[in-house]
Amino acid sequence: MVHQSAGPEYGLLFFGVTFLALAVGGSLTGETLARFRGVIYRADNPKQFRWVVVAYYVGALYFIGLFFLDL
Protein backbone atom coordinates (compact mmCIF):
# COMPACT_ATOMS: atom_id res chain seq x y z
CA MET A 1 0.00 0.00 0.00
CA VAL A 2 1.41 3.39 -1.01
CA HIS A 3 0.94 6.22 1.44
CA GLN A 4 0.07 9.56 -0.10
CA SER A 5 -0.07 12.71 1.93
CA ALA A 6 -3.32 14.63 2.01
CA GLY A 7 -1.56 17.91 1.26
CA PRO A 8 1.82 19.49 0.84
CA GLU A 9 4.53 18.99 3.42
CA TYR A 10 4.58 22.30 5.27
CA GLY A 11 7.83 21.36 7.02
CA LEU A 12 9.61 21.89 3.70
CA LEU A 13 8.11 25.35 3.41
CA PHE A 14 9.08 26.13 7.01
CA PHE A 15 12.73 25.17 6.42
CA GLY A 16 12.78 27.07 3.12
CA VAL A 17 11.42 30.25 4.66
CA THR A 18 13.81 29.90 7.62
CA PHE A 19 16.82 29.58 5.32
CA LEU A 20 15.57 32.49 3.23
CA ALA A 21 15.20 34.66 6.34
CA LEU A 22 18.73 33.77 7.45
CA ALA A 23 20.12 34.56 3.98
CA VAL A 24 18.33 37.89 3.62
CA GLY A 25 19.06 38.88 7.21
CA GLY A 26 22.73 38.05 6.76
CA SER A 27 22.88 39.99 3.51
CA LEU A 28 21.35 43.08 5.05
CA THR A 29 23.13 43.11 8.41
CA GLY A 30 26.58 41.84 7.43
CA GLU A 31 26.60 39.08 10.01
CA THR A 32 25.36 35.53 9.71
CA LEU A 33 25.22 32.36 11.74
CA ALA A 34 27.69 29.63 10.86
CA ARG A 35 27.23 26.02 11.76
CA PHE A 36 30.11 25.52 14.17
CA ARG A 37 31.76 28.95 14.38
CA GLY A 38 28.94 31.08 15.77
CA VAL A 39 28.61 34.45 14.05
CA ILE A 40 30.60 35.38 10.95
CA TYR A 41 30.99 39.07 10.10
CA ARG A 42 31.32 40.31 6.53
CA ALA A 43 34.13 42.71 7.45
CA ASP A 44 36.23 40.07 9.24
CA ASN A 45 35.95 37.13 6.85
CA PRO A 46 34.21 38.13 3.60
CA LYS A 47 34.93 34.95 1.65
CA GLN A 48 33.46 32.59 4.24
CA PHE A 49 30.58 35.01 4.84
CA ARG A 50 29.64 34.89 1.15
CA TRP A 51 29.79 31.08 1.07
CA VAL A 52 27.53 30.76 4.10
CA VAL A 53 24.99 33.25 2.72
CA VAL A 54 25.00 31.50 -0.67
CA ALA A 55 24.46 28.16 1.08
CA TYR A 56 21.44 29.64 2.87
CA TYR A 57 19.99 30.91 -0.44
CA VAL A 58 20.55 27.54 -2.13
CA GLY A 59 18.97 25.73 0.82
CA ALA A 60 15.98 28.05 0.67
CA LEU A 61 15.52 27.44 -3.05
CA TYR A 62 15.85 23.70 -2.55
CA PHE A 63 13.27 23.38 0.22
CA ILE A 64 10.79 25.84 -1.31
CA GLY A 65 11.20 24.07 -4.67
CA LEU A 66 10.49 20.70 -3.07
CA PHE A 67 7.41 22.17 -1.43
CA PHE A 68 6.02 23.42 -4.73
CA LEU A 69 6.88 20.20 -6.54
CA ASP A 70 4.87 18.28 -3.93
CA LEU A 71 1.70 20.30 -4.62
Helix or strand or coil: residue 31?
strand
Distance CA 5, CA 60 (A): 22
The amino acid that residue 51 corresponds to is W
Which pLDDT score, from 0 to 100, does residue 40 have?
93
Which pLDDT score, from 0 to 100, does residue 70 have?
76
Alpha carbon separation from 42 to 2, 18, 28, 62, 66 (Å, rounded)? 48, 20, 10, 24, 30
CB contact at 8 A, 54 and 46: no
pLDDT at residue 43 tops 70: yes
CB contact at 8 A, 22 and 33: yes
pLDDT at residue 10 tops 80: yes
Which pLDDT score, from 0 to 100, does residue 7 have?
65
pTM above 0.85, yes or no: no
